[in-house]
Structure 1
């Protein structure tokens, strides 16, 4: 029997291996020689860090009525904070975003296109998947309610779905500034990032310094644009050839020193994401610590660019990078739904380790790691259906688009009310 079982497994694995190898060869053959594989690899790394970070640094508690509430291991497990440094790779994402936008805009204008048309295409690529996920969830909420899912669970789900979408809005905003970023980078090079850093530092000083009691609470919102534009502007400098290895080394080591000083001397929170119960947060809006980390990440990315490119010349490594990049917005928009797809049905059965138990112990971490493959499978399954929201909706008529817009607006109102 064991021999027969092994032979059966081998016979099933053989076709899968052949299909994988065929797909790898196809991807390799279709990749243009001039393709910057390192930039795609960095983007894929930053993309995958988003679901991994949310899946590891976010959890649930189950109420007596079976309702799910958001919880975080960061509230009780302080050693998770350094993990957030490795999983918060938005500095790299904005860096490669700025770099790619420069090259894309250059190609578009060389073909006779206009900046406005280029920008419209970029914003539509960002907006379609967001419209899709919000419309689907607007339709799902009443269905789930009729099926007996508690209202508290629905509110928790809405918060999680909206959580990554703020990034899309910010990214769309900085993308709209691409022409100005390019002009500034061509004229002043890497120095264009200094005023952004200084602005965030000044706002932080006002928020947390000796005059903090006299400062309005909304002042931190001023950091939204310069804080996230910092990495994008560095990417624009890289794209026009004004950020080279020497500048990258300055970013890496200067950022590391600033990061250490902010933690050790000025008492910035160690976690890069918000911690329940903490009065200060680094990411919403971005603090100077976020820019220090982004500086380290951007410097390292530029310095390692050639090595990463050589590594991704291996077809077996390159094919997954292509797959991730082709599904970028699907991963970003639907990874929380994948986690909820496992948690919501399970909550009706009781508490389950690593899923609906409080994230306050090492045992929870071990159990959550065991759940990660389930989340991945759920995301692949959901993504196989929802990936159609990424390309242009050519088959959808005006009525369908209007309905999607109305549903998305309804979900936005609901999410605004509960977040």
Structure 2
């Protein structure tokens, strides 16, 4: 039996087991948004092993022409849109079964927290192991920072999940226009931050954008679940978001990169600026418009198979992709300067070489994932949970010093 034949049979078996009511398009959008996270970190993050010590380095500082890549690989608009729709639908189904909101929320939180505690506990053991193997403290701290970086998504997503019942009420109260109010709030803060008097504004002012900035697309997803986001509304989101993005970039000179650039005076992502919401609006509009077409395409078993695999390993991919890149670079640093891996990300040649490393990162992530997926499932005993929790707490103390 050939590999292709086995693949077809596996795909057909999974397709046959998929309930007819399953929203394949939503799973497909989630898979695309999820895969953009490791691809974004792998392409827009690098290392510099000068002096034999591995340090984080960004290619965007030396190669600003790569900034448009962040427009494609930063898909938080789709990520939170799908999350809002999925959470709202799940909450409604739970209510129909008579499940209290508190119990529903506890289940959602545990699904997110278990993998995070697992990867943190493993790193608590990995740090002293790397030191025992002779790895200097600086690269170990580099790896710890990388591992922690994407976890703010989880923290923010937990907050938004807890707010889901309020988002449902807010959407009903505003008749689907709640996200417009959130966008206006972010615009007002940006006006105060970057207006003529911006230099006189306190630094904490930007923190006011945290909640409305990340809630914007999530609220769109909640309204989408309740039928308040129509195709006409999606077209308005797509075209309006694209137009606003262009105006902010070309007229108001917002930074082009959607991720932080070391040494830059301004950043779009921490906390989110109006440019992030403009991109999220365009992405959300396109996602809604393509949903039906994507759903039909995913009726094909061979297309549906990778979507299922990615969704089953979603938290593993999210929590471990930075570790996969770091461990590859750490091993590579022992071999000297490897283009695209341990050389400074300061040329187009680095970008081309980094493309060649992506399959290696993916293979290492797959190996880690086969073992690490155990953290996604309910933990077997209280002792196991106590050990993992203690390890995660120890790593949190270390990470606070490293970050």
Which residue does the alignment assign to 2:50? Answer: 63
- C-alpha distance in 2 between matches for 1:386 and 1:303: 36
CA deviation profile, 1:4-24 (whole Å, cap 9, x unmatched)? xxxxxxxxxx44333322210
Which residue does the alignment assign to 1:33? Answer: 20
- C-alpha distance in 2 between matches for 1:254 and 1:190: 16
Deviation at 1:214, TM superposition (A): 2.1
Which residue does the alignment assign to 1:10? Answer: none
User: Secondary structure of the equivalent of 2:48?
Assistant: strand
- C-alpha distance in 1 between matches for 2:2 and 2:324: 28
User: Secondary structure of the equivalent of 1:384?
Assistant: helix
- C-alpha distance in 2 between matches for 1:93 and 1:189: 23
| Structure 1 segment 74-153 matched on structure 2, within 5 A | 74-153=60-139
- C-alpha distance in 2 between matches for 1:38 and 1:18: 26
CA RMSD in angstroms, aligned pairs only: 1.0
User: Secondary structure of the equivalent of 1:304?
Assistant: helix
Which contiguous aligned blocks of 4+ residues in structure 1 show a shift greater than 3 angstroms?
Answer: none
Tell me if 1:280 matches 2:266: yes
- C-alpha distance in 2 between matches for 1:406 and 1:368: 37
| Structure 1 segment 205-216 matched on structure 2, within 5 A | 205-216=191-202
Which residue does the alignment assign to 2:9? Answer: 22
Deviation at 1:193, TM superposition (A): 0.6
CA deviation profile, 1:101-157 (whole Å, cap 9, x unmatched)? 111111111111011101110000000000000010011001101101111101110
| Structure 1 segment 17-416 matched on structure 2, within 5 A | 17-64=4-51, 66-393=52-379, 395=380, 397-416=381-400
| Superposition TM-score, scaled by structure 1 size | 0.95
- C-alpha distance in 1 between matches for 2:47 and 2:189: 34
- C-alpha distance in 2 between matches for 1:63 and 1:402: 40
- C-alpha distance in 2 between matches for 1:413 and 1:210: 41
Give the conservation status (yes or no) of the 8 Å contact 1:190–1:247: no
User: Secondary structure of the equivalent of 1:70?
Assistant: strand
| Structure 1: gaps (5+ residues) | 1-13
| Superposition TM-score, scaled by structure 2 size | 0.98
The alignment covers a number of residue pairs equal to: 403
User: Secondary structure of the equivalent of 1:131?
Assistant: helix
User: Secondary structure of the equivalent of 2:337?
Assistant: coil
Give the conservation status (yes or no) of the 8 Å contact 1:189–1:243: no
- C-alpha distance in 2 between matches for 1:157 and 1:132: 16
More deviation, 176-185/187-196: 187-196
More deviation, 250-259/402-411: 402-411
| Structure 2: gaps (5+ residues) | none
